[in-house]
A and B are shown apart, each in its own frame.
Chain A
Amino acid sequence: MISLMLTIIIIASCDNNSKENPDPEESWNPTPYALQIPEGFPDMIIPNDNPMTLEGVNLGRKLFYDPVLSADNIQSCASCHAQAFGFTDNGKRLSTGIDGIAGTRNAMAVINAGWMTSLFWDGRKPTLESQALEPVPNPIEMHLSWANAAAKLNAHPQYPDLFFDAFGTRTIDSMHVVKAIAQFERTMISGNSKWDKYLRGEVALSQAEAKGFEIFFTEKGDCFHCHATILFTDNIFHNNGLDSDFTDNGLFDVTGNSNDLGKFKTPTLRNITYTAPYMHDGRFETLEDVVDFYSEGLQFSPTIDPLMKKINQGGIRLTDDEKQNLIAFIRTLTDTDFIDNPEFSNPFNNE
C-alpha cells in the first residue's frame, strides 16, 4: 500500500505535461489541427497551454461571429473585424461599441495575427489570448462582464457541448473563450497575394508594380525597414511623423517612457486595399493620402523615428508617377483568397 502510493507520487513528479482533466465519464479526443504555413513565413509560436485543435478552431470561429458575447446580443468581434474589409471596421474612422460610444482608435486588421508578438496599436497585450479578454467587458465595445458572458454560454443549448469537444470541459469560463478565439485567429493566414505569387515565380509584376517595388524596397521610399519581412510589419513601435504633438500618446501610455511618446505598432500592409481608413485614428481615407503624407507631410517631434529620412524636406519627395507606382506595388499585397476564404467566413450564415 505504502509502496503503491509512493510510486504514484514519483510518477506524478516526473510527468510534466499534465493536461486539464477531462470529465472521467466521457472520452475526449480532440483532433490536432495542422496549420498550413506558407513558404518563407516565420515559425508561428503556439502557446503550450493552447494547442491547436480542429474543435478549438471551429469553436473560436463561432465565438468570433456570435453576438452572444455582447450585452445586448448585437455586436460580435466580426462587427468591427469584418472579413470583407480585411477584418477591420466597415470603413469607420473610429470603431463604435454597443452603446453607440465611439472609441479613440481605428479597428486593426486581424491578418497573420498569429505572428504578432504585441497586440493593439500600443502593444499593451503580448498574446492573442490576453488581447481577446479586452473587447468583451470593454464599456465602449461589447460591454458584457466575463461572469455574465460565461453564464450566457453555460446556459446555451449548444456551447457546453462545443466547449467539451474543444477543451474537455462543459464548465465554460473566459479562459476557454479566449483560447478558442485565439486558435481561430491563428488560422487567419494571408500568404497568397500577387506578391506571394511573384515570389514563387508564378506571375510577373507590371511595369508600374516593379517600379513601386524598387521604391518600397530601397531607401528611396524606405518602407521596408518598418513594414518589414514577408509579414510587412516589424511588429514594433515607431513614431512615423504623423503629428508634432500628440492627442494619443500610444506606446507611452503602456511604458511611461517619454522616448515612447507617439509611437504606434507598425501595421501590416497585407490586404491594405480593404482596410481603409488608415493610421491609428483612421485619419487618411485613401492610399493616395498615405503616400502624400510619407512624401511631403512628415511632422517633426522629438521621438520621430530615426528611419524617417529627410524630415526637414517633409518626407521622401516622390513625383506623381512614383507615387502611383508605389501604390501599384502596395496593391499587389491584396490576397482575394484570404478575403473570400470560406473557412474564415461567418459560420452562422449557412445554418
Chain B
Amino acid sequence: MNKPALTHLTILLITMLVLTIAACNKSNDEKPQPATALLSLKFEHIVGDDPLMFNQMIYTNAFGNPYSVETLKYFISDIKLTSAQGSEYLIDAEHYVDGLDSSTSLFETGAAIPLGEYSSVSFIFGLNKEKNLPGLFPNAPESLMEWPPAMGTGYHYMKLEGKTDSSGVINNFQAHTGPTMNNQNFIELTVPNSSFMVSGNSTTITIKMDINKWWANPNILDLNTVSGIMGNQEMQLKLKANGEDVFSFGGV
C-alpha cells in the first residue's frame, strides 16, 4: 500500500467515525447556560421531629392514642410556584407517593422554571374535580387508589392506615380521604414559609408531611373513630381542616 492511499483511507475512517458518533449520540452539544432550572419535589414523612417508621406502635397522637402506621399513599397535583415578583408558574401534573416505596418520594416534574427568587410553593393535596375521574390512572399502583362508583368515583386522595392500642385492644384505623359522595374534599394549600432561590440547572424542593398533624389541629381525633370513613363527609371535612398544616417546607 503506498502512502497517499493510506492517508486517504485514514481520512475516510475518521470521517466515518465522526458520522457514526453523531448518529449514535443523543445530542450533547454545549448550549449556553439556560435561564431555567428543572424542578423536582421531594416528599419526606415525619412524626413530630423524626422520620416516620412503619409498623411500630411508637407514636402517640394529641388525643392520647398510641398508634402505628402501616400504609401511607397519596396524590399531590397542580403545583404552583409564586415568584418574588408575583408571577405564578403552574405545573399541571399529578404525582403518587407511597411512603414504603422510596422511588415515589422524588417527583421530577420535568418543568423548567426561571431562575430567581420565589416566595411560595402551593399544591393540591389530592386531585381536583376535573382530574378526579375514572380512567385517569389505568395502571397500578395509582389505579389501586380507585374510589368506587358506589361512593362517588375517581380516586382516593390518601390512604393512611395503621393500628391503635386502646388499653390492650388493638383496632385498625384507615384515614381514607377522597371525593365522598362527590364532595370535592381535596385541599388547596400553600406551604408555610416556603420562599426559596432557584439557581443552577435543577432545583429540588423538600416538602415534609407530619403524620401527627392529621389528628390534631383544629380537630383532635380519636383514632378509634377513624375507620370506615369513606362515606362520612363530616369526618372528611375534619381531616381536610387538619390537613391544612400537615405540610412544611424542608428547603431546597
Residues of A within 8 A of B (CB): 2-3, 6-7, 10, 13-14, 40, 42-43, 117, 213-214, 217-219, 222, 224, 228-229, 234-236, 259, 300, 302, 304-312
Q: Which of B154-206 contact A (CB under 8 A)?
A: 161-163, 169-174
CB-defined contacts of B16 to chain A, threshold 8 Å: 3, 6-7, 10
Cβ of B24 and Cβ of A14 under 8 Å apart? yes
Cβ of A306 and Cβ of B140 under 8 Å apart? no
Cβ of A309 and Cβ of B9 under 8 Å apart? no
Q: Is B90 an interface residue (CB 8 A)?
A: no
Q: Which of B93-151 contact A (CB under 8 A)?
A: 135, 138-140, 143-144, 146, 148-151
Cβ of A6 and Cβ of B13 under 8 Å apart? yes
Cβ of B170 and Cβ of A300 under 8 Å apart? yes
Cβ of A42 and Cβ of B174 under 8 Å apart? no
Cβ of A309 and Cβ of B172 under 8 Å apart? yes
B161, B172, B229 pick with most chain A CB within 10 angstroms: B172
Cβ of A229 and Cβ of B172 under 8 Å apart? no
Cβ of B70 and Cβ of A306 under 8 Å apart? yes
Checking B12, B143, B172 against A42 with a beta-carbon cut-off of 8 angstroms, the contacting residue is B143
- Min Cβ gap B179→A in Å is 14
Interface residue tally of chain B, by bracket? 35 or more
CB-defined contacts of A259 to chain B, threshold 8 Å: 54-55
- Min Cβ gap A235→B in Å is 7
Q: Given the known inter-chain contacts A3-B9, A6-B13, please indicate yes or no for A42 contacting B140, CB distance below 8 A.
A: yes
CB-defined contacts of A217 to chain B, threshold 8 Å: 148-151
Cβ of B20 and Cβ of A14 under 8 Å apart? yes
- 8 A-B contacts, Cβ less than 8 Å apart? A7-B16, A213-B150, A218-B231, A229-B140, A234-B144, A309-B228, A310-B227, A311-B172
Q: Mark contacts of B213-252 with chain A using CB atoms, 8 A cut-off: 1 yes-contact digit, 0 otherwise.
A: 0000000000000011111000000000000000000000
Cβ of B139 and Cβ of A306 under 8 Å apart? no
Q: Given the known inter-chain contacts A14-B20, A14-B23, please indicate yes or no for A312 contacting B169, CB distance below 8 A.
A: yes
Give the complex CA separation of A3 and B10 in angstroms: 9
CB-defined contacts of B228 to chain A, threshold 8 Å: 219, 222, 309
Cβ of B9 and Cβ of A10 under 8 Å apart? no
In the complex, residue of chain A having the shortest beta-carbon distance to the beta carbon of B9: A3
CB-defined contacts of A218 to chain B, threshold 8 Å: 148, 150-151, 230-231
Q: Is B35 an interface residue (CB 8 A)?
A: no
Q: Is B65 an interface residue (CB 8 A)?
A: no
CB-defined contacts of A229 to chain B, threshold 8 Å: 140, 143-144, 146
Cβ of B144 and Cβ of A228 under 8 Å apart? yes
Give the complex CA separation of A145 and B26 in angstroms: 47
Cβ of B17 and Cβ of A307 under 8 Å apart? no
In the complex, residue of chain A having the shortest beta-carbon distance to the beta carbon of B156: A225
Give the complex CA separation of A305 and B68 in angstroms: 12
CB-defined contacts of B23 to chain A, threshold 8 Å: 14
Checking B140, B150, B172 against A234 with a beta-carbon cut-off of 8 angstroms, the contacting residue is B140
Cβ of A307 and Cβ of B170 under 8 Å apart? no
CB-defined contacts of B149 to chain A, threshold 8 Å: 217
- Min Cβ gap B53→A in Å is 11
In the complex, residue of chain B having the shortest beta-carbon distance to the beta carbon of A234: B144
Instruction: Known A-B contacts: A10-B16, A259-B55. Give 8 more (CB < 8 A).
Output: A2-B9, A6-B13, A10-B20, A42-B138, A117-B140, A222-B228, A306-B161, A308-B172
CB-defined contacts of A305 to chain B, threshold 8 Å: 172
Cβ of A228 and Cβ of B146 under 8 Å apart? yes
- Min Cβ gap B232→A in Å is 9
CB-defined contacts of B212 to chain A, threshold 8 Å: none
Cβ of B172 and Cβ of A307 under 8 Å apart? yes
Cβ of B146 and Cβ of A224 under 8 Å apart? yes
CB-defined contacts of B231 to chain A, threshold 8 Å: 218-219
- Min Cβ gap B218→A in Å is 25
Q: Is B71 an interface residue (CB 8 A)?
A: yes
Checking A13, A219, A234 against B24 with a beta-carbon cut-off of 8 angstroms, the contacting residue is A13
In the complex, residue of chain A having the shortest beta-carbon distance to the beta carbon of B229: A219
In the complex, residue of chain A having the shortest beta-carbon distance to the beta carbon of B57: A302
Give the complex CA separation of A236 and B100 in angstroms: 13
Checking B13, B144, B150, B174 against A306 with a beta-carbon cut-off of 8 angstroms, the contacting residue is B174
